[in-house]
Structure 1
Amino acid sequence: MDDETESLALAIGHRVREQRQAREWTLDRLAAEAGVSRRMIVNVEQGAVNPSVGTLLRLSDALGVRLPALVHTRGAASDLVEVTRRGEGAVLWTGEHGGRGVLVAGIESPDVVELWDWTLEAGERHASEAHSTGTRELLHVIDGEVVIEVAGVAHGLAAGDALTFAADVDHAYANRSSSTARFSLAVFELGVGSSHRTAGS
């Protein structure tokens, strides 16, 4: 891991441990609630791994907190405004050719909205597991061409095109062209963690 990635991994680990301990949960309890291994929880809390977006989503839902609360170093904020400056977003995915998925902003749970800035280099693809029931995504292509796969059906988009889709099924973003593609992505998820809060969190 480079310094930026290591710093983010340590910050995520601290926040996950803090949230788990606030609920007086054991490592085994969080592992069971999130559907990930105990070893993964240990590695995340120690900052020893750069967890996947899927793992982070499972942890945030199990803990009943929004994903940005686990990954963001807060920028300037007040009761009305929270600012994330250029370069302050959390890089949560890096492609094999240098593409990046950056979480740049989000609003509080239980109804979560996340704003992402994605870059896919030629030939890169990011697959996502189905999110919780009712989750929707809105995507707008800024540069290049992107193929969005939703439940096995591919939808080709060019610069200026937009797509809204149900994200509670398996989906993926791919760049099948020979040039860089960039898109903005908003994720809307209802009731994050609500099923776990009633179980004692």
Structure 2
Amino acid sequence: MLTEQEEIEESVSDQLRILAAELRRHRKERQLSLETLSALSGVSRSMISKVERGETVPSTGTLSRLAEALGTTFSQLMVAHPVESEIVVIPADRQPILSDAVSGYQRRCISPVLPGRGVDWVLNTLPPHGTSGEFVAHRRGVEEYIYVLKGRLEARVGSRRVQLEPRDALYFQAHETHQFTNLGAGECEYFLIINSSGLRG
């Protein structure tokens, strides 16, 4: 019987394996070399190689840059295979989680990866006074929606800053850099929906 710590370590190992395989698959499907993906994303070749070998957990900012360069979504890099069913249940223990060891920022993917649908639904948790780090600008047509569950959140979109309280909501077009900061002394939890369906021609 595994201890709780062993279960956590096994879950992280499984997630690293999936992320490594999916990043490599998306890169090869687009016929991109490590050098080309590095140039497109601004992520070093050595970092991409380490992620593809399952040797490191990338920061959320790094994963965001790689997803944008590959023309895919955060969730599509975290899940092994797209789901076909119109009714999908994702048990809590099967929801991919990416934790940034340095900042303590955590992203839990709660939307299924459905073919032909460009929507990511993520539950984010920021530690006290923590920050998400800066996310790269998405392509025009990508929209983001925020709903704060608890805590006080500052959202910076380009040069503009807004402060959100629990139950406040925010919408923005995500073609500028953006960053989220917990303004409080407790954890801040918020839902984030990234809608890239507007990119479909």
Percentage of pairs with the same residue: 25
Structure 2: gaps of 5 or more residues: 1-7
Secondary structure of 2:94's counterpart equals coil
1:82 counterpart = 2:66: no
- 1:171 is matched with which residue? 178
* One-letter amino acid matched to 1:94: D
Instruction: Please state how far the C-alpha of 1:41 moved relative to its aligned partner.
Output: 2.2
Q: Is the 8 A contact 2:148 2:169 kept in 1?
A: yes
Cα 1:19/1:122, change in 2 over 3 Å: closer
1:5 counterpart = 2:21: no
Give the length in aligned residue pairs: 192
Q: Is the 8 A contact 1:149 1:172 kept in 2?
A: yes
- 1:17 is matched with which residue? 24
- 2:62 is matched with which residue? 55
TM-score by length of 2: 0.78
1:140 counterpart = 2:147: yes
1:182 counterpart = 2:189: yes
Q: Which has the higher strand share?
A: 1
* One-letter amino acid matched to 1:54: G
Secondary structure of 1:125's counterpart equals coil
TM-score by length of 1: 0.78
Instruction: Please state how far the C-alpha of 1:63 moved relative to its aligned partner.
Output: 3.6
- 2:199 is matched with which residue? 191
* One-letter amino acid matched to 2:199: G
Structure 1: gaps of 5 or more residues: 195-201
Instruction: Please state how far the C-alpha of 1:107 moved relative to its aligned partner.
Output: 4.6
* One-letter amino acid matched to 1:186: I
Cα 1:41/1:82, change in 2 over 3 Å: same
Q: Is the 8 A contact 2:97 2:107 kept in 1?
A: yes
